[in-house]
Amino acid sequence: MKNIAVIGAGTMGNGIAHVFAQHNFSVHLIDISQEAIDKGIATITKNLDRLISKEKISEEIKTQTLNNISTFTSIAEGVKSIDLVVEAATENEALKLKIFKQLDEEAPANAILASNTSSISITKIAAATKRPQQVIGMHFMNPVPIMKLVEIIRGYNTSNKVTETIMELSKKLNKVPVEVNDYPGFVANRILMPMLNEAIETLYNGVAGVYEIDTVMKLGMAHPMGPLQLADFIGLDVCLSILNVIYNGFKNPKYAPCPLLVNMVQAGKLGVKSGEGFYDYSENRKAEVVSKQFS
């Protein structure tokens, strides 16, 4: 397995492409937007330069990594003669089903089709193809070049051989793969998202402010980042989407998104990506707590 296609040049996609390319795989980075591809390559270059400044890689490895990446704006062209596709498009079920149906038609018959989805059912994604036994989840963590974990999700029909292949492949990327079964939110987000949602509820109910909630969790629970800051970093829209998947999957009210989260997303306050969430990320503020009442 040497030829890898990555669908989506955004934060997760360019990170996944970076990691495969740095470990000497041939990578096809695919996005319908040339602008997104250019931005993705720029991000990979910046991250490689950061690794050079920390003396973790050489200039030669940077050059080799970038040379291992080819870019495409067509899925049909990008998935020819590949062994594995990793889909890292927007966390939208309809979009993913559409992409996997096309991948099934365009990718070689023996290719494994993986999704980086953080919550959507791998079994449902696989059902959009005629090769469900070759569909699997590879849930990388952000930032991909740094975080060690890869959550490997086997769908109802995923074969043992495909699971074993992807587990071993992940180890070749110097990652730690953990196999989990296909239930809403898997393991990572089934535990993480209710915690973030509860932090938002705590703010919404006026128990404490943004700074206070995050400080309690950082200093009291040794979390490197407070839950509200982490939600901003992930994207409040992404958090809402994942919570809705878990809530709709289990029909359990404990997973229902906090009304404050819903309102903030509707207002376009999505966190870092929009410049404001629970914190203000504008240039002159530098992640200060937003000066307003969250209730």
The model's pLDDT over 240-272, given as tens digits with 9 standing for 90+, comes to 999 999 999 999 999 999 999 999 999 999 999
Segment 12-51, tens digit of pLDDT: 999 999 999 999 999 999 999 999 999 999 999 999 999 9
d(CA 38, CA 124): 32
Which residue in 3, 116, 121, 189 is the catalytic one? 189
Provide φ and ψ at 23, rounded to 5°.
Answer: -100, 25
Look at residues 114, 111, 110 and name the one whose alpha carbon lies nearest to residue 99.
114
Can 110 be counted among the known catalytic residues?
no
Q: Which of 11, 9, 10, 136 is nearest to 69 (CA)?
A: 9
CA 32/CA 98 separation, integer angstroms:
14
What are the pLDDT digits (tens) for 107-158?
Answer: 999 999 999 999 999 999 999 999 999 999 999 999 999 999 999 999 999 9
The domain limits of the chain are 3-181, 190-289
What's residue 168's pLDDT? Answer: 98
User: Is-catalytic flag, 248?
Assistant: no
Which tokens go with 87?
């889909």
Binning pLDDT at 50, 70 and 90, where does residue 292 land?
low
Position 289 confidence tier, pLDDT thresholds 50, 70, 90:
confident
The torsion of the CA quartet 131, 139, 148, 59, rounded to 10 degrees, works out to 80
8 marked as part of a ligand binding site = yes
Give residue 295's pLDDT: 60
User: Looking at 118, 119, 170, 241, which residue is catalytic?
Assistant: 118
Q: Is 96 annotated as a binding residue?
A: yes
Q: Is 116 a catalytic residue?
A: no
Q: What is the DSSP letter of 256?
A: P
Query: Cβ–Cβ contacts within 10 Å for residue 127, how many?
Result: 16
Tens of pLDDT along 216-244?
A: 999 999 999 999 999 999 999 999 999 99
- 273 appears as a binding residue in the annotation: yes
Please, which pLDDT band fits residue 291 given cuts at 50, 70 and 90? Answer: low
What class does CATH assign to 3-181?
alpha beta
Weakest mean pLDDT among 24-38, 76-90, 161-175, 274-288: 274-288
What integer pLDDT is reported at residue 284 of this predicted model?
A: 67
At residue 283 the predicted structure's pLDDT band, cuts being 50, 70 and 90, is confident
Catalytic pick from 106, 139, 241, 276? 139
Residue 27, token pair as written in the block: 């990578």
Catalytic residue among 87, 106, 151, 276: 151
Tell whether residue 12 is among the known ligand binding residues: yes
Q: Is residue 9 a known part of a binding site?
A: yes
Q: Which fold would CATH assign to domain 190-289? A: N-(1-d-carboxylethyl)-l-norvaline Dehydrogenase; domain 2 (1.10.1040)
The answer on pLDDT for 288 being more than 80 is: no
151 among known catalytic residues: yes
Domains 3-181 and 190-289 alike in fold: no
Q: What is the mean predicted confidence (pLDDT) over 82-94?
A: 95
Asked if residue 213 lies in contact with residue 203, where contact means CB atoms within 8 angstroms, the answer is yes
232 in a labelled binding site:
no
CA distances from 280 to 5, 139, 236 (A): 36, 29, 14
- What is the distance between the alpha carbons of residues 244 and 247, in angstroms, rounded to a whole number? 5
Q: How confident is the model at residue 293 (pLDDT cuts 50, 70, 90)?
A: low
Neighbours of 18 (CB within 10 A): 28
Residue 175: predicted pLDDT: 98
Q: 95 or 288: which carries more pLDDT confidence?
A: 95
Q: How far apart are CA 118 and CA 141, in angstroms?
A: 9
Q: What is the pLDDT of residues 146-186, one digit of tens each?
A: 999 999 999 999 999 999 999 999 999 999 999 999 999 99
Least Cα distance to 259 among 204, 180, 211 occurs for 204
268: which 2 tokens?
């376009």
DSSP line for 119-182: SS-HHHHHTTSS-GGGEEEEEEPSSTTT--EEEEEE-TT--HHHHHHHHHHHHHTT-EEEEEE-
